[in-house]
Structure 1
């Protein structure tokens, strides 16, 4: 592989924010061996950080140390260097050592967000979930707009089967990123798991509205649902069935029951039939078509 090709692939991974450790290490090592670091200019430091993480992932700590030393020499006392050093410590030292390293830094600079998040990660990974949650809540009180932090909190609660708390964390994510349909879908599925079906169906329909283009009825009929839109229609169908089974159910969030559940069920059925009637690429039959058709054809209640 040429040096230019390696540089292009590394840049592509940085743009897409993909880890791809094996590929990054292979290409990054080639750049180092062919002395291509100078060609990167100021981007060279980002490349070295990228290669440091990849080297740790694949177990080449010698290369990680080499890159980390170059970065530390250029940016002494940098918070990013502190984070990289902490990750390097996590790779070979006991968790207690890493936690002490992070605690010492936070004692001197409590606003170091990167170090705080690394500490929370170690706490969670070592099974200290309650302490991780407490620290994460404190972190979010300080850095409210950190979407990743709220997603982490939602995930921790979900893994502990505390779905209502998980949904509460996700509401903050939706406030911070109201145009992201993936987060809305995650919140809808969490609401469904928490058995708040009125709220869940409302959120699933919002996902459809965000991802299915124009509100025109004609365009909706002509379109073929794809990707997360199909998943959202499955959610609508599931919620409609649960609501039809108990029209007097109460919503934990006090969300009103939809007035025309039967029509929503019929629409979801039609949309799913359209999605699974698509011939797909190269004439392939949509996988699971017969199973889906049989499922949507089942009586509502």
Structure 2
């Protein structure tokens, strides 16, 4: 379990961590970071720092995540007082608050219409544009969300977050080729993002888990992911899973005629794949043992990840027996 740090929360927050973060609301709200004195004396006696408002925003997101609407409202009011209701970021945060309070699709449609009004006055507000797409997803309007994201990346081609979101939407519809293309754009922007390498590997695997070319590409990206982060559990899990799928297919296809697609993607040698599978097995075993020996919350891994890794290793053990 990740540490509950309001300044730098983890990118993927499980419910328990979100709850730990939101429980810090009374402490943060008990002290006012800004002075009540008139300007310019307020500048001299203010306790605010750049980190102050990052903490407030992260606390707002955690409170919305856990349903603490009262604390979220107080934090939002404090942020609005500090930065103004017309601030681009504040408009988006207010919209997120209203999204969280929406009880049905009718309420979400109202939020969507409010976003439309904002964008009509200021088409360059990217924060609100992204929130509009989030509402489209919540309403189940996947095709409209894809169209909106396509327009967004056309106007902001270096927005890795938007490309990743578009990839996820394409994947949800089974459009594997488009999903992979979008994640390759992410890698052009962030070539050392190991999580993106793991995700594109996953998409190759899901697109065809019986295709040697697809599995070869998945293997390459999982290998790159663990090369960039040698403690990346998901990378080793994928590396082991893909290796196990690929080895028998390489044996079957060794004497068969290769098609045009396979000519473009040279398959790895079985010995190399076997070695990668052994490395992944050893590393997963090491991670599981370290997790079991560590104190709760000190390993840096989520319990669900460890359970999945243990089950994968156990399947090997049962197969040997």
Same structural fold, with TM-score higher than 0.5 when normalized by the shorter chain = yes
The match for 2:42 is none
1:69 aligns with 2:62: no
Match of 1:101 among 106, 111, 114: 114
Q: Under a length normalisation based on structure 1, what TM-score does the superposition of the two structures give?
A: 0.77
The match for 2:95 is 86
The match for 2:216 is 201
Is the CA contact 1:199–1:253 (under 8 Å) kept in the aligned structure 2? no
Q: CA deviation at 1:207?
A: 3.5
Is the CA contact 2:243–2:277 (under 8 Å) kept in the aligned structure 1? no
Q: Under a length normalisation based on structure 2, what TM-score does the superposition of the two structures give?
A: 0.73
1:2-13 matches, cutoff 5 A: 12-13=5-6
The match for 1:239 is 246
Q: Which moved more, 1:114-123 or 1:194-203?
A: 194-203
Give the direction of change, closer, same or farther, for the CA distance of 1:239–1:36 in structure 2 (3 Å limit): same
1:211 aligns with 2:208: no
Is the CA contact 2:149–2:166 (under 8 Å) kept in the aligned structure 1? yes
The match for 1:144 is 157
Q: CA deviation at 1:48?
A: 2.8
**Aligned length in residues:** 276
1:27 aligns with 2:24: yes
The match for 1:3 is none
The match for 1:119 is 132
Q: CA deviation at 1:30?
A: 2.1
The match for 1:44 is 52
C-alpha distance after superposition, 1:23-49 (max 9, x if no partner): 233212123235567644443333332
Is the CA contact 2:247–2:274 (under 8 Å) kept in the aligned structure 1? no
1:271 aligns with 2:256: no
Is the CA contact 1:233–1:272 (under 8 Å) kept in the aligned structure 2? yes
CA RMSD of aligned residues (A): 3.4
Give the direction of change, closer, same or farther, for the CA distance of 1:182–1:103 in structure 2 (3 Å limit): same
Q: CA deviation at 1:116?
A: 0.7
Match of 2:184 among 163, 171, 176: 171
Give the direction of change, closer, same or farther, for the CA distance of 1:114–1:241 in structure 2 (3 Å limit): farther
Q: CA deviation at 1:153?
A: 1.1
Match of 1:60 among 46, 65, 68: 68
C-alpha distance after superposition, 1:38-81 (max 9, x if no partner): 64444333333233333333333333223222222222211111
> CA separation in 1, counterparts of 2:232 and 2:134?
35
C-alpha distance after superposition, 1:224-253 (max 9, x if no partner): 997223532432332343344344454759
SS of the aligned residue for 2:219 comes to helix
Is the CA contact 2:18–2:62 (under 8 Å) kept in the aligned structure 1? yes
Is the CA contact 1:191–1:197 (under 8 Å) kept in the aligned structure 2? no
1:15 aligns with 2:8: yes
Q: CA deviation at 1:179?
A: 1.3
> CA separation in 1, counterparts of 2:63 and 2:241?
42
Give the direction of change, closer, same or farther, for the CA distance of 1:253–1:180 in structure 2 (3 Å limit): farther
> CA separation in 1, counterparts of 2:113 and 2:285?
58
Give structure 1 stretches of 5+ with no counterpart.
Answer: 1-8, 214-223
